[in-house]
Amino acid sequence: MKVPRPLRSILADSGLLLSVGVGVQLIALLLLPWVSKLYAPDTLGDLALILSISTLLSIAVGGRYEQAIVICQEPLERKHLLRLTLWITALVTLALLALTPAIEPWIGATRYATLQGKLWLIPPVVCTLGLCATLSNYALSLGHFKRIATSKAVQGLGNNGLKVDFGLFSPSVWSLWGAQIASTLLALIPLLQPLKHNKQTRVPTSRRELSQVARKYRAFPLFSLPQAAITTLLGSILILMLPLGYTTVEVGLVTMATMLARRPVQLIADSVSQVYFNRLSVAHHAQAPWRPLVRPLLLVTLVAGLPTLVLLWWAMPYLVRWFLAPAYVACTEIIRAMLVYLLVLFFTSIINVIPDIIGRQRAHLQIQLLNLFLQVALLVLLIYILRVPFVETVSTYYLVIALYHLLYGGWLLYLLRRHDQQLQRSND
């Protein structure tokens, strides 16, 4: 199939990000047999809970002003936003460190008692993830795709390699946490060069200027922040709620299934999404239509995705036996249940920046709140009330959220159509 010019242009800009994402995931898949043999499912389950909480908190650590950095077209305002985000990150990290001693004794009396003594691992992960997101978006706003690609490569290869290296000495949660922290810190190094240039052309930033940009872009903490937190929570709600009726072993099985199936899809989608965010923002400011950018993506997703889905459904038992240790054989049914959801998620996660660009954050937030309510109610019903067997719970869950994402994708395409229609009317 001939790839249309707009999509070729985006693929050219995101080529490094895509190649890095694919390369990192290939290496991660090759290392999965080692990881599955070194770490028991309950150990992976503990790490998954820690990272799920950390990732959720990292969304708030910059006040979501890091997204405003990408949209901002004024260089001076962009620098003010960067400094504002770094200040907020430091303050939130200190607040988390202060709150941890108060939460530590209480968590031992809950179904999350396995995290007792490990809550101190969360603030450093939150801080490093927040810094990485901020500096990556600043580099993205300057068009430094090579630096972003290098950062992703360092983080992905470092995390997967260090999991194995540390696990050979001590296969514990601390080893997995150490791999996460070390790889994220190393990933910051390629992103520091734009800051050096920023320092050479430094313009003093007063509190008044920080307050001004904070007020100007207040829609991001008011609407984009809750929406992003809800989106992140939706991605980990299954892992966070499984302890209500199951053990960390089941959490570990879902985590391993995610590493084998969902994470590769999400990483590639995130790489393309970063470029789409930049291109759609630029097109919006230039009053150019979005359809030539998004329509080819939808066609390619369907043409390439549907045959791949059928092939993976058939091959999954063989892939699981080849990649994973016998303790993870139950991942076959979990991944099969994910496949339709992953196909739809790939498309919606790339274009879900549309509401942010056109100022529809409030409506986006309401839709995501509805989705969160649906998922929480479904999981409480399946896990806590009906006490459905584990595999049936996971299968039902992924079927329902796949149907939701179909409707969600339709709404995003409706916003795109309205954007282009309004643009055409204004030009007539």
Q: What is the identity of the amino acid at 382?
A: L
25 occurs within a structural domain: yes
| Chosen domain end from 196, 218, 240 | 218
344 occurs within a structural domain: yes
Cα angle vertex 302, ends 376, 14, to 5°? 90
pLDDT score, position 17: 67
Distance (Å, rounded) from C-alpha 60 to C-alpha 230?
A: 11
pLDDT string in tens for the chain (428-residue length): 444 445 555 555 556 666 777 788 788 888 888 999 999 999 999 999 999 999 889 887 877 888 888 887 788 888 888 888 899 999 999 999 999 998 888 887 788 888 888 899 999 999 999 999 999 889 888 878 788 888 988 998 899 899 999 999 889 999 999 999 999 999 999 998 777 665 555 555 677 888 888 888 887 888 778 877 887 888 889 999 999 889 889 999 999 998 888 877 877 787 777 778 778 888 888 888 888 888 888 888 888 888 988 998 999 999 898 888 898 998 999 999 899 899 999 889 888 888 888 878 788 888 888 999 999 999 999 998 999 999 999 999 999 999 999 999 999 999 999 988 888 888 76
237 occurs within a structural domain: no
Residues 179 and 275 in one domain: no
Residues 264 and 207 in one domain: no
Question: Looking at the 3D structure of the chain, how many domains does it have?
Answer: 2
pLDDT score, position 201: 54
Residues 17 and 102 in one domain: yes
Residues 373 and 264 in one domain: yes
- Please return the burial class of 307, using the count of CB atoms within 10 Å of its CB with bins 0-12, 13-18 and 19+: exposed
227 occurs within a structural domain: no
236 occurs within a structural domain: no
| C-alpha torsion angle, residues 393, 395, 400, 401 (rounded to 10) | 100
20 occurs within a structural domain: yes
Distance (Å, rounded) from C-alpha 380 to C-alpha 242?
A: 10
Residues 140 and 269 in one domain: no
pLDDT score, position 415: 92
Cα angle vertex 169, ends 167, 171, to 5°? 35
Residues 48 and 162 in one domain: yes
Range of the domain at 411: 254-427
What does the DSSP assignment read for 174-199? HHHHHHHHHHHHHHHGGGSHHHHHHH
Distance (Å, rounded) from C-alpha 250 to C-alpha 204?
A: 52
The structure tokens listed for 284 are 């919006």
pLDDT score, position 64: 81
The structure tokens listed for 86 are 């770094």
The structure tokens listed for 153 are 């490569």
Residues 278 and 169 in one domain: no
pLDDT score, position 2: 42
pTM of the model: 0.79
Residues 44 and 144 in one domain: yes
32 occurs within a structural domain: yes
The structure tokens listed for 129 are 């993830």
Alpha helices in 219-290, H assignment, sequence order = 219, 225-241, 248-257, 263-285
Residue 48 Cα distances to 176, 208, 271, angstroms: 10, 41, 22
Residues 86 and 184 in one domain: yes
Of 347, 343, 346, 354, residue with least CA distance to 298 = 347
pLDDT score, position 351: 87
Give the CA count within 13 Å in the CB-facing half-sphere of 96. 22
Distance (Å, rounded) from C-alpha 98 to C-alpha 284?
A: 42
What does the DSSP assignment read for 43-104? HHHHHHHHHHHHHHHHHHTTTTHHHHHHH---HHHHHHHHHHHHHHHHHHHHHHHHHHHHHH
User: Do residues 151 and 22 touch, judged by C-beta distance below 8 A?
Assistant: no
Radius of gyration of the chain (CA): 21
Residues 270 and 181 in one domain: no
pLDDT score, position 362: 81
pLDDT score, position 93: 92
| Chosen domain end from 218, 236, 269 | 218
| Chosen domain end from 190, 218, 246 | 218
Residues 100 and 145 in one domain: yes
Residues 209 and 262 in one domain: no
User: Do residues 40 and 111 touch, judged by C-beta distance below 8 A?
Assistant: no
224 occurs within a structural domain: no
